[in-house]
Amino acid sequence: MAVYERHCYHPDLHQQPSDLNSAVTTYNSAVPCLLNKHAPIKKRIITIRPDTKWYTAELNQAKNHRRATERKWRETRLEIHHQIYKDTCRHVNKLIRETKCSYYTNLIKECANDQSKLFRIISTLFSQYIALPTHTSTHELTKRFSQYFTTNIKDIRTNLDTTDISTQFTNLEIHTASTLPSFTSANPLDIRKLIMKSPNKSCLLDPLPTPLLKPCLDSLLPYISMTINLSLQSGKCQHYSSLQSSLHYLRRHHLITIHSRTIVLSPTCRFSPKVLERIVASQLTDYLTANSLLEPLQSAYKKYHSTETALLKIHNDICSFIDSGNYVLLCLLDLSAAFDTIDHNILLNRMSNLGVTDMALQ
């Protein structure tokens, strides 16, 4: 790592690119070249073992005793030794159940006040690995996934009310004196802070994994900042994602078979576009906040607002109405693939009404 950091130099990364496409192409070719020079890929066989944090010294001692009784029985073939071995097996199995139960019970109690950790624990306990559907080639399988999502979205739109709601939302104008015609160039220090705070997650398309990028960030930050600012100034974002690459993620633990009701795909967006996305979201949020354009009852993607605050608001309103002697009817709407079925014309029109124009609207 130290050697790579000291020699993290490539002549192409110290030249001014002509446009965004050339900047991205240069970065995607120069960085892997440096990585392969100092840390070439080596193949190793790794045995994946299940997580056994609940395993204790007492349980290990009991299993050793079980193994000793088994060897004794196989040596003598006496019924008494066979009975001792069976009793030991029952004792070990009971001890395993009790140990696992005690471990996860204490773990859930410790995370009782942290809903995020609690959800991850429950998800881990109930998650199951499901193999890929049968296919003749990776290209054929990715095409089937793409077709499934496209058909799913078309079916949802077809089953919705045929009333043209675009015109209804078009007339919802919000008058604001301020506008956001373009996004400002990001400060390299802000980009550095954003990258260092990001989780160590990487995509297979990333030229440099995030855990390696952070120690070498001082050397690569000028070029990364230049590429991000070129994107902000031009109003364009280089396309990175690919259905073919998503197949590698499907081989892991986040897949539900194609013939079931739902398919869950892991995100395959590269690290650099995610940084750009956060910068744009930050500037857009600052603009909406400064002009009081944020929806006051929005409880998602908003600081100090979450599902917990939404539940508190609903619970308080229900209790208040019931205490006043009124009847309460709660209607909840769950939209399948809600973000995938957003009408882009309505979205762009709403953004325009909020004062987002010109380059920023592109």
Q: What is the chain's alpha carbon radius of gyration, rounded to the nearest angstrom? A: 28
User: pLDDT band at residue 347, thresholds of 50, 70 and 90?
Assistant: confident
In tens, the pLDDT along 133-149 reads 787 888 888 888 888 87
Integer Cα distance of 356 and 176 in angstroms: 10
pLDDT for 200: 83
In tens, the pLDDT along 147-190 reads 887 787 777 777 766 555 555 555 556 666 788 888 888 899 99
User: pLDDT band at residue 65, thresholds of 50, 70 and 90?
Assistant: very high
What does the angle CA 136 – CA 141 – CA 144 come to, to the nearest 5 degrees? 125
pLDDT for 319: 94
Identity of the highest mean pLDDT range in 10-19, 30-39, 233-242, 262-271: 30-39
Contact predicate 54/104, CB 8 Å: yes
- Averaged confidence pLDDT in the chain: 78
How many CB atoms are closer than 10 A to CB 246? 19
What's the whole-number mean pLDDT along residues 76-89? 94
Integer Cα distance of 209 and 224 in angstroms: 14
- pTM score above 0.75: no
Query: Does the pLDDT at position 53 exceed 70?
Result: yes
Integer Cα distance of 225 and 198 in angstroms: 16
Percent of the chain with pLDDT over 70: 80
Q: Which of 123, 118, 124, 147 is nearest to 135 (CA)?
A: 147
Compute, in degrees rounded to 10, the torsion defined by CA atoms 154, 156, 157, 159. 120
Query: Does the pLDDT at position 336 exceed 90?
Result: no
pLDDT for 300: 75
In tens, the pLDDT along 189-248 reads 999 998 888 888 777 777 888 888 888 888 888 888 888 888 888 877 765 444 444 444
In tens, the pLDDT along 99-124 reads 999 998 998 888 888 888 888 888 87
pLDDT for 147: 83
User: pLDDT band at residue 267, thresholds of 50, 70 and 90?
Assistant: very low
3-state secondary structure (DSSP) of residue 31 = helix
- Residue of 270 and 229 predicted with greater confidence: 229
| Per-residue DSSP letter, 341 | G
CA distances from 262 to 152, 256, 258, 335 (A): 10, 7, 8, 13
